[in-house]
Chain A
């Protein structure tokens, strides 16, 4: 009973939200990328670059906000690499993604050692501080959501809303959805498919970079080797679980984060490993069951035209 109460405690809510932030950002990136017809297995690596870029940027400039921008920029550059390989050179998209991950896990550590002479752990840098929104924090019930929260929480909510709007209410979104399902139809309608693909993959990289920066300069104040620790693949799962829809990805991320939060905050009789398994198990079950109806972009992974 006591445990059940804890499940819905404020502490749980905030732990869940905090864990959901990087997943949401990266999985929305995944949505844009896959909607353009490019499969991205390199989310993990892009996040890792972002995490490192944020710390290195903060270290160089002294400002964590500039660190965040560096993370976004670095992520975008890696996205550009993936896009160039997949679109311009028709590289196997899965292989490119795997290559980016390996490359990222290597280069971040090499650079980390070059800067801080330590394999796999950077020096401390300044964090992005939490904020309390005046006035709003006084409102009962929702007040705590505006008290001592990371600005990333608000960024993320805004990005979810904007992404959903862009995807389902704007020209760009309609065209992107057309490209993912039927690139030829898009091309005959006069849409520049290539340009959209580049833009979508670069955007994905930027969001992944931002997601990575959350891990290193918001939740923490340094870079640690492999600090993304599989969250990139989990974000990919959230992209799919959420039905390639920004809002769905957000909800999926919250669900996955909730499973993690249970692990961290509550002692249940369920072994830890099974809780950790939940996101992957759920995604697979969705693919096997209802997921057969919820189809992803029909032409993802295939750019033979």
Chain B
């Protein structure tokens, strides 16, 4: 009986163990790679930590870098809960940032709160439309969501790029970007001269809301049920098509927020090609966080630390900033392969 009792903790412990093991393995392997190439892993890692935590400002920047990753990670986790793979966050966040920026520009002169609320709403709607369309094709035409999402990523990227290279380009600017949304409409900085803004609170609130959404609401339960066993969900009265579309649309809205907060927290305008592949990193964040909203926050922080520390690592230890992509790529490969962790366990004479 004792043994049975322990069993119920296994999923949770398993999740933690798998994620921790994946991070550890990827760090070890990264260290090995650095050592082989001729760098000092110890110097690199300590420089990275220095860069991420060395001062109040660097901590603030670390958090600032984590914010978009929290949003996009939540967006990916949201669909994963419903058994759908959203690789389209990139397109959704471009659309979100774009619609938010043009809304703000159109509303210049209105009260700050009105501009922010309407622009955020427009940004979420923009992302939701792209995601929802993707979901619609899946639900109504049974078209694989992954391939459509990849196509939509490019279509959205080029679509927004067209506007900021042409009709909507900031007057007199050489850079492909829109006019400013207005300095006064930007999110408040939590620490001056850093990238940390109130977007952090929005991101954390989104995580909490998402947690309660899945734990407490019927809609969240239905989405999870569809993800776990679509046929059983259907038998219990859940309408499949609309649930799939809704799941993708909400995820698109959250992805849209990634773009919106970049515009309103950092750049102040829609800049062509501003995303360094957040949409793909988001998949890694969600998988590492095991689709748990708080897990997503933690893994976004981890990735944020890597991003923020990479510059310091680069000039202290001489390693390219791209080393963090190596680490992130390895994390995603390891964490997506729980069987590998089990397999290594067996190798160590476990069960």
Which A residues form the contact surface with B (CB < 8 A)?
39, 41, 81, 85, 89-92, 94-96, 98-114, 119-120, 225, 230, 233, 236-237, 240, 271-274, 276-277, 279-281, 283-284, 287-288, 291-292, 301
Residues of A within 8 A of B154 (CB): 230, 233, 276-277, 279-280
Once A91-B336, A91-B337, A94-B85 are accepted as A-B contacts, the answer to whether A105 and B322 lie under 8 Å apart by CB is yes
Which B residues form the contact surface with A (CB < 8 A)?
33-34, 37-39, 85, 87, 137, 141, 143-144, 146-148, 150-155, 158-159, 161-162, 165-166, 277, 280-281, 283-284, 287, 314, 318-330, 332-333, 336-337, 339-340, 343
Instruction: Please give the distance in Å from A194's CB to the nearest CB on chain B.
Output: 15
Contact: B325 with A274, CB < 8 Å? Answer: no
- Report the bound CA distance from A40 to B327 in whole Å: 21
- Some 30 contacts from A to B, beta carbons below 8 A apart, are A41-B87, A85-B336, A85-B337, A91-B339, A95-B287, A96-B336, A96-B337, A98-B87, A99-B333, A99-B336, A100-B329, A102-B325, A103-B325, A103-B332, A106-B324, A106-B326, A110-B320, A114-B39, A114-B320, A119-B320, A119-B321, A119-B322, A120-B320, A236-B147, A273-B159, A280-B154, A287-B147, A287-B148, A288-B143, A291-B143
Contact: B280 with A101, CB < 8 Å? Answer: yes
Residues of B within 8 A of A274 (CB): 158, 162
Contact: B326 with A107, CB < 8 Å? Answer: yes
In the complex, which of the residues A81, A95, A108 has the most CB atoms of chain B within 10 Å of its own CB atom? A95
Once A89-B343, A94-B146, A98-B87 are accepted as A-B contacts, the answer to whether A106 and B322 lie under 8 Å apart by CB is yes
Residues of B within 8 A of A96 (CB): 333, 336-337
Among B141, B318, B332, the residue within 8 A (CB) of A98 is B332
Residues of B within 8 A of A287 (CB): 137, 143-144, 147-148, 151
Tell me what chain A mostly uses at the interface: helix, strand, loop, or mixed.
helix
Instruction: Please give the distance in Å from B40's CB to the nearest CB on chain A.
Output: 13
Q: Which residue of A lies closest to B279 (CB)?
A: A98
Residues of A within 8 A of B33 (CB): 107, 110
In the A-B complex, the 9 residue pairs with the closest CB atoms = A106-B325, A103-B329, A109-B322, A99-B332, A106-B326, A102-B329, A273-B162, A273-B158, A95-B336
Contact: B284 with A102, CB < 8 Å? Answer: yes
Contact: A236 with B150, CB < 8 Å? Answer: yes
- Report the bound CA distance from A95 to B282 in whole Å: 11
Among B34, B151, B284, B318, the residue within 8 A (CB) of A237 is B151
A95-B283, A99-B284, A233-B154 are known; give 12 further A-B pairs, CB within 8 A.
A41-B87, A90-B339, A92-B85, A99-B329, A102-B332, A105-B329, A106-B328, A107-B325, A110-B319, A230-B154, A277-B154, A283-B147
- Report the bound CA distance from A106 to B314 in whole Å: 13
Residues of A within 8 A of B321 (CB): 119
Instruction: Please give the distance in Å from B186's CB to the nearest CB on chain A.
Output: 28
Contact: A98 with B284, CB < 8 Å? Answer: yes
Q: Which residue of A lies closest to B150 (CB)?
A: A233
Instruction: Please give the distance in Å from A115's CB to the nearest CB on chain B.
Output: 9
Instruction: Please give the distance in Å from A205's CB to the nearest CB on chain B.
Output: 15
- Report the bound CA distance from A240 to B150 in whole Å: 12
Among B37, B147, B148, B337, the residue within 8 A (CB) of A89 is B337
- Report the bound CA distance from A90 to B337 in whole Å: 7
Residues of A within 8 A of B323 (CB): 106, 110
Contact: B332 with A95, CB < 8 Å? Answer: yes
Among B37, B165, B166, B281, the residue within 8 A (CB) of A114 is B37
- Report the bound CA distance from A276 to B272 in whole Å: 15
- Report the bound CA distance from A233 to B330 in whole Å: 21
Residues of A within 8 A of B284 (CB): 98-99, 102
